[in-house]
Structure 1
């Protein structure tokens, strides 16, 4: 007489807990999708606001986020370090390079030199012209490590205009991530059910 195999309670709890965790992560990604859509809508409203704000030379990441995609201006007293030339597009959609430089600038609230990052403009040539500084106005956009960058509009002398910043370009792939987590949860449950059937057989 064949002894019936015991139902694997512990393994079932582990699999169900894992599946519930994956579902929870999927739900969290759906929440992140809603948050990102609200953020993009806020930035789209900001970029249409013509009133300038102070460039955040000394600001926290949250303070930088509060002024992204607003108009601003800096007086680039002198350039600092080397130019960074990366692939980018012109205002009319041509491929080429945008050129970024750190500027020493004095704010209205301090008498010390602070650093402002300026995207001076676009060119086909990866080698930037020898611009030494001056007044720059444009849009504040995200830069690396929580800093801001000013996309010059109009471009500085020697450059053409870079493509205008578009908040819609911000990545919002949370729906895809949510779908992946839900799929992983379903796959884990299906595989476990098949394993249970084989075990009983």
Structure 2
């Protein structure tokens, strides 16, 4: 004799759907934790890696590595792009990018000069003039920052004077603005104690580290287990009470 009542079809469907959803969310959180840990290892490995030939990775960089390269060229005079307050610094600030024309190369290479702090007002920080003449630059050849939906379309096309500001750095928009093709990645310059720019060449996961993703995964798996337990408790047959004589 079964200890459980026969459940209605809708209750089975609801429980299974809910449990599967919670498990899926938990697995997704574990994947996010693994992705961030892999990204941190990738940056840590790249920071101490020997320099590679830029031409060997320029157009087809390895998908799972950030080569450390050295290039020779010159900055395009006055062409500067500002990513508006990407790190949400308390004093405001911008990430500064400048295109570099490499010797013997048609595409331009966009260099990430680093983060320039603000002064706590709405005023854009004053960007120092770019070096003139030939420069040797080295750093990590990394993907551009993520692009989301930008309300209003191409912000760069609506601005006449440099430096130009944007809330998302879209290499396609920068390329159209310059009228020149760009390499598919950026050159994130190596840290320099003498530079005015802050160059932290690791992702900032302080608000959502891998450990927090794993904690959320545990919560979702707990919800899945709770859904099954509740289903079983609600459909467990109750023992009849003995009749009083």
TM-score, with length taken from structure 2: 0.54
The change in CA–CA distance for 1:6 and 1:83 in structure 2 (over 3 A counts) is closer
Do the aligned partners of 2:80 and 2:96 also contact (CA within 8 Å) in 1?
no
Q: 1:175, CA displacement in angstroms? A: 0.9
Q: 1:15, CA displacement in angstroms? A: 1.3
Q: Kindly indicate whether residue 98 of structure 2 is the aligned counterpart of residue 102 of structure 1.
A: yes
Moved more, 173-182 or 78-87: 78-87
Which one has more relative contact order, counting CA pairs under 8 Å at least 6 apart?
2
Partner of 1:152: 189
Do the aligned partners of 1:69 and 1:140 also contact (CA within 8 Å) in 2?
yes
CA distance in 2, matches of 1:43, 1:152: 13
Unaligned runs of 5+ in 2: 120-124, 148-183, 237-245
SS at match of 2:54: coil
Partner of 2:8: 8
Unaligned runs of 5+ in 1: 90-94
Do the aligned partners of 1:22 and 1:181 also contact (CA within 8 Å) in 2?
yes
Do the aligned partners of 1:121 and 1:162 also contact (CA within 8 Å) in 2?
yes
CA distance in 1, matches of 2:92, 2:141: 21
SS at match of 2:79: strand
Partner of 1:188: 227
Moved more, 115-124 or 38-47: 115-124
The change in CA–CA distance for 1:6 and 1:175 in structure 2 (over 3 A counts) is closer
Do the aligned partners of 1:72 and 1:150 also contact (CA within 8 Å) in 2?
no
Please state which structure has a larger fraction of its residues in strand: 1
Moved more, 39-48 or 22-31: 22-31
| Aligned-residue CA RMSD (Å) | 4.3
Partner of 2:201: 165
Q: 1:44, CA displacement in angstroms? A: 1.5
Partner of 1:22: 22
How many equivalent pairs are there? 186
Q: 1:8, CA displacement in angstroms? A: 0.8
Please state which structure has a larger fraction of its residues in helix: 1
The change in CA–CA distance for 1:168 and 1:65 in structure 2 (over 3 A counts) is farther
Do the aligned partners of 2:26 and 2:220 also contact (CA within 8 Å) in 1?
yes
Do the aligned partners of 2:113 and 2:199 also contact (CA within 8 Å) in 1?
no
SS at match of 1:160: coil
CA distance in 1, matches of 2:102, 2:31: 41
Do the aligned partners of 2:68 and 2:138 also contact (CA within 8 Å) in 1?
no
